[in-house]
């Protein structure tokens, strides 16, 4: 019998209770869920999401792993009490949701949908014919699980896709660049730029006045990754100057985005409330159960976090 602690905000438990029970049964695992009275030293695995009651992992000295419900782990990876292996969430449904959201917003910009959706004023705008996707340059910053899935999907739509990452990657029909020395080249061809980078010291303000200036004038920016990647003041200035024609932003340094933030009122910004990709309990529970099954069987955990890199 394995003891598993669900250490996440209380409102999540009713959503995960049944899916986790079903997933553990499907994986052939005998599990009892820990409660506040459970001795910490008896806990074998911890399912974690930020905002819950657990901030000190020290008492859970026998826990074999901490399994994150989130793809991003920046709010746990630097916890000094965390000594257990940490696995991030990689869930096919998470990737599907991100692909659908990114593809929709890329197509919005590519097809010039706003001119027709917002321009219901009796003017026949027949001259606004978009180029074909193969004539449009789209760059994706970050080729992890989500970025790679989006790159493949956009390449399948015939966009001219460039992917940029810290470490070398290889994807069919995608021009893959790696390392800071190639960032300028990745930006130079980005009529539409999608950022799916993790939150690390290396990505802090990566899109600043200097790098935004390396984009083609009138580029569009889509950020469903992490809010720290963008220097907000620099983006607002680039929007005001026309260097960036429009930005669709799903993530921010402070969430919810404060009502007085300039992004809300700026005509060149579309704000969405961190909805690009949501962890879905039914599929996330299967991913959690499979990782516990693997570890319990002596197999390597999937999606282990590299503490030095922060993801």
Strand blocks (E) in the chain: 2-7, 31-33, 45-48, 65-68, 86-87, 137-141, 160-165, 174-178, 192-195, 219-223, 244-249, 269-271
Q: What is the mean pLDDT of residues 272-300?
A: 96
Tell whether the model's pLDDT for residue 228 goes beyond 90: yes
Q: Is the pLDDT of residue 241 over 90?
A: yes
Alpha-carbon gap, residue 57 to 214, rounded angstroms: 44
For the chain, the structural domain boundaries read 2-91+279-296, 92-271
Given a cut of 90, is residue 308 above it in pLDDT?
Answer: no
Q: What is the pLDDT of residue 128?
A: 80
Structure tokens at 295: 């570890």
Among 289, 306, 308, 273, which residue's Cα sits nearest to residue 69? 289
The two three-digit tokens of residue 85, written as one number: 């292996």
Same CATH fold assignment for domains 2-91+279-296 and 92-271: yes
* CB contact at 8 A, 48 and 286: no
274 is annotated as an active-site residue: yes
**Rg of the chain's alpha carbons, rounded to an integer?**
21
Residue 126 scores a pLDDT above 90: no
Topology adopted by domain 2-91+279-296: Rossmann fold (3.40.50)
Decide if pLDDT at 266 tops 90.
Answer: yes
- Whole-number Å distance between alpha carbons of 212 and 202: 17
What's the CATH architecture for 92-271? 3-Layer(aba) Sandwich (3.40)
- State phi, psi for 161 to the nearest 5 degrees: -100, 130
pLDDT of the residue at 119: 80
pLDDT at 198 over 90: yes
- Active-site hit among 105, 160, 226, 246: 226
Q: Are 219 and 248 in contact (CB under 8 A)?
A: no
- What stretch of H or E contains 291? helix 281-296
Residue range 276-305: average pLDDT?
A: 96
* Whether 169 is catalytic: no
Range 179-201 average pLDDT: 96
10 Å CB burial of residue 294 (0-12, 13-18, 19+) is middle
Choose the catalytic residue: 152, 266, 274, 293. Answer: 274
Q: Is the dihedral of CA 7, 10, 15, 19 positive or negative?
A: positive
CA–CA distance, 258 with 273 (Å, rounded to integer): 11
**Between vectors from CA 113 to CA 101 and to CA 93, what angle results, nearest 5°?**
10
φ/ψ (deg, to 5) at 19? -60, -40
pTM of the model: 0.90
pLDDT for the residue 306: 93
Does residue 184 surpass a pLDDT of 90? yes
């Amino acid at each position: 019998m394995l003891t598993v602690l669900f250490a996440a905000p209380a409102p999540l438990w009713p959503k995960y209770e049944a899916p986790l029970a079903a997933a553990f049964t499907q994986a052939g695992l005998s599990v009892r869920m820990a409660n506040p009275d459970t001795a910490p030293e008896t806990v074998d695995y911890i399912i974690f999401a930020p905002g819950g009651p657990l901030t000190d992992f020290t008492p859970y000295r026998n826990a074999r792993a901490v399994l994150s419900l989130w793809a991003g782990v920046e709010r746990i990876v630097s916890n000094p009490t965390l000594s257990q292996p940490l696995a991030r969430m990689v869930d096919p449904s998470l990737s599907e949701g991100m692909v659908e959201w990114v593809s929709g917003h890329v197509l919005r910009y590519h097809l010039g949908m706003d001119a027709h959706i917002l321009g219901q004023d009796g003017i026949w705008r027949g001259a606004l014919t978009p180029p074909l996707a193969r004539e449009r340059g789209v760059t994706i910053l970050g080729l992890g699980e989500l970025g790679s899935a989006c790159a493949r999907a956009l390449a399948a739509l015939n966009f001219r896709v460039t992917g940029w990452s810290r470490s070398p990657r290889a994807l069919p029909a995608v021009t893959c660049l790696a390392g800071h020395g190639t960032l300028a080249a990745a930006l130079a061809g980005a009529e539409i730029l999608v950022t799916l980078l993790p939150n690390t010291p290396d990505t802090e303000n990566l899109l600043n006045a200097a790098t935004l200036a390396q984009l083609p004038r009138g580029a569009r920016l889509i950020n469903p990754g992490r809010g720290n990647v963008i220097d907000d003041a620099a983006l607002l200035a680039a929007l005001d100057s026309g260097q960036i024609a429009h930005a669709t932003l799903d993530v921010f340094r402070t969430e919810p985005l404060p009502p007085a933030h300039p992004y809300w009122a700026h005509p060149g910004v579309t704000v969405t409330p961190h909805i690009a990709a949501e962890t879905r309990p039914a599929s996330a529970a299967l991913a959690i159960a499979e990782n516990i099954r693997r570890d319990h069987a002596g197999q390597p955990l999937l999606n282990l976090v590299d503490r030095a890199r922060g993801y």
